[in-house]
Amino acid sequence: MEKFKYAFDKNKRYHTWNYYLRQTFGEKIFKVSLNAGFTCPNVDGTLGYGGCIYCSREGSGDFAGNPNDNLRKQFDEIKAMMLKKWPNAKYIGYFQAFTNTYAPLEVLKERYETVLGFEDVIGLSISTRPDCLPDDVVDYLAELNERTNLWVELGLQTIHDETSDIINRGHTYQDFLDGFKKLKDRNIKTVVHIINGLPGEDKEMMMQTAKAVADMGADGIKIHLLHIIKDTPLRDFLNNGKITPMEQEEYINLVCDQLEILPEEMVIHRLTGDGKRDELLAPLWSLKKWEVLNRIDDEMKRRGTFQGSKYVKPDYDIFKDCK
């Protein structure tokens, strides 16, 4: 058991985000989800319109602040809710909605520096696309990384380009690797997002995506369950029988399989997710988030395995074709 030094967070057998924060800062830290008013090249017509087929009107920022409010008001409202339970917490400003490096550098600086100036903010987490990392922005992120706790979150979703075409992702796997390497070369901590249950993907394909994230040396991962939300193109896939939502048991076993092949030092930022109750069409079991997480814990314990117990270090250069 001693081998898996990152896995032991109470009853957890994986390296949780909460454990990482406690070990790094020694106190309670919250992410405050913000909507900074950005858009996405897959929404504004640069690459396409409408975004990815699963994307809600909020641009995957369903639980972020109100975009009609300025960042100060958004931050204070969310902070006030958190203070009721943890009055001495500190905060990471989380730029969540849409693509948060998709603007001129001067605009990005104004948004990021504003939040960094708020009391008790100890870092930033910036969610973006791998094809929206121009050199001047990466240079600025590298500078930020020297003076605050910075994480950049990159949407991969799948390594399979045929799936990316179906979901209207707007970039290839090679595009992702090119963007990821830019951040890795500057020692910027990176979280990779993947989605289980995408149209046309079987278990082997989903495991291949998880294995690729393990091999690229990502600092963290977010594993999402595909949600089918009202008023998205994915709704039509459901209505036309082109997609079958994952069952809870299937999802739990898959996530445990994926955890076993991820390196033990990788921080697990998320293992499931839940859409807004009044907008979620399927799978409805995902609303029972804590039940899902508890069942993942129970299954790992039943197996007697841990994050990294089946990890094999790659014997190839995943970045050999990068620019």
Question: Does residue 63 register a pLDDT over 90?
Answer: no
Rounded to a whole number of angstroms, the CA Rg of the chain reads: 19
Question: Does residue 199 register a pLDDT over 60?
Answer: yes
- pLDDT, greater one: 57 or 317: 317
Q: Which of 137, 140, 170, 166 is nearest to 156 (CA)?
A: 170
**Sorting pLDDT into bands at 50, 70 and 90, what band is 84?**
confident
Q: Is residue 78 part of a domain?
A: yes
The tally of domains found in the chain comes to: 1
Q: Is residue 97 part of a domain?
A: yes
Question: Does residue 290 register a pLDDT over 90?
Answer: yes
Please state, as a whole number, how many other Cβ atoms lie within 10 Å of the Cβ of residue 235: 17
User: Average of pLDDT values for 39-67?
Assistant: 79
User: Average of pLDDT values for 231-249?
Assistant: 93
- Structural domain of 107: 17-303
pTM, full prediction: 0.94
Q: Is residue 309 part of a domain?
A: no
CATH code of the domain in which 168 resides: 3.20.20.70
Q: Is residue 3 part of a domain?
A: no
Q: What are phi and psi of 317, to 5 degrees?
A: -95, 105
Q: Is residue 320 part of a domain?
A: no
- pLDDT, greater one: 274 or 95: 95
**Sorting pLDDT into bands at 50, 70 and 90, what band is 265?**
very high
Cα gap 226→195, rounded to integer Å: 6
Q: Is residue 147 part of a domain?
A: yes
Per-residue model confidence (pLDDT) at position 2 = 47
Q: Is residue 239 part of a domain?
A: yes
**Sorting pLDDT into bands at 50, 70 and 90, what band is 206?**
very high
pLDDT digits over 154-174, tens only? 999 999 999 999 999 999 999
Q: Is residue 215 part of a domain?
A: yes
Helices 135-145, 173-185: axis angle to 10 degrees equals 40
State percent of the chain over pLDDT 90: 83
